[in-house]
Structure 1
């Protein structure tokens, strides 16, 4: 067991830009020995006297506690900041963990395995050849530089990534990956997730970038939010003013189905949605009356009614559009854009509304939300892959025209026009 004099000192604090990452500061004649121990426990140097522990499984406090206990046994003087100690003493679980029956120890072990895969990719020990989006998760195929399972299929992202299959032959692994995911296959590794980028910045000693989607320094205006009962009133107006939608009640009084006379579009309204972020509308379009679902959308209870009106107008009688891309109306209205390997966002000049395109997501390919914080939106409209661009253009035109107005301005806007009774055109849906 190595000996460390009393003047060897290690201080642990929370990382200021990567929560719950940990900073370790070393000093004293034997600080090199302390740094060697920390390196073996996953800490990486960012300066002569500083090291960082940043993991994609968010278990930095747990592994810091183990490292501190080990250093203490070796004779080093260790200090843990109070806020970090609070994190160490706090028990937590992943709120949306897909296997809730797992014990905390089993979850930690699965996360540690995902961390090893992440480290193998980061260090080049595991080379990713191809990736794809299977509609729910990111999948990939890669080759280890050495080891028994040289060629592997990977499934999931961040702390959920795991080895799904192992092959002894690279050609077989790649061919099977192409067979499973066909046209969704893309070359190379998938774009880094937000968490992976944050980990990389922390390990490189870089400061945090400006918060995502906060594209300007102007003061944010409060986003417009639908008031109580406004969605109910719009639903009733839809049935009263248009002969193209039929009303159906389900076995429960909690929901109402609006079915278009083309039998290719259905909208389900949840009367029990109360909170502004509860899903109140689910809309889907199908390839014929009994065909496959083409796309779907969800709309939360706080969404301004004019935006829902724009969507139903297009589903009823599509209007001709002259814009080239869904975001064209936003750019013409002076919205600022920001590109990211995983997404592109457009933000209203007053930062009250954001429109986002996520090319690698199947469920949330296009999203519009109120406010400038994606984790606490005032309302949200989410479209899956496959949604027609002319529908998005009609929506973004409505967003650019009124979606970014302050709340008072929207409340004073003129009432919505009655839906015109035109004949429908033929139609082909915690940590």
Structure 2
């Protein structure tokens, strides 16, 4: 609507312009509406011509009487008292104003559900590492030249963490390596993939914060006692199922969606990097959503901590809205767990 027509409409709508009479007059493009009205605040009277965006003032008068007399002379028999009926446009506008707007549906954000730790969301692994380093001054953070990897090194130089920031959900994102001395070969190594749940990663970091838990077991070979202490007791107490298949000793959760596997054959091979332990969630270690692997000499205290976390700890998982299910990315196939734990030792030049 033109500025003038919009102002006239607003003045009528809000009672500032009072219509005394109206008429339907002939115009060059057919019939139109004319009216005589007075501004309440100033007392000025006007003749109006047209409808909606074409409405305009065609004459002004000092008093209502003068305006009405002139209007009667022009339109006489067609003259009708009061304001003109609302036009189609005005009725539509009034209906729109009086119809409640539909409430905009707020995005549904269901409360996260509490689940076993092994089924929890991965969360922000980088934030977990940053918080760990901020809380433990005996660890130092080192960045590689590409900023794709962070190394965290204990002041003893015998325990090192490698964090690959952009690793995929099923790719190695963490490598923890222990050494008997700062210049010796690795004693044990543990890896975790990018989708490892936040509570499990947190348990791992909490364990690494205490040097007594991992320095006292360096060089200790895997034994039946190690296996029993590390997995059987905490998992059996939680109702996990124990099976043996050739060299593999396996514990699976009551619902069958997580497990721990010990490879007795791999444990006998003289290779510090060979994956002897596999921890996973999913249908099985070869179709896992995340995995942790550990070599033969991995600290039994650390393995026991992980088993306790799997058996008893809980975490949160984002609830799915109705009709939305967790789906694997198109075209991806979970890789088999590698025979050897991935990831090189942290650089010894730091």
Q: TM-score scaled by structure 1?
A: 0.40
Choose 1 or 2 for highest CA Rg. Answer: 2
Name which structure has the greater RCO, CA cutoff 8 Å, separation 6+.
2
Structure 1 or 2: more strand by fraction:
2
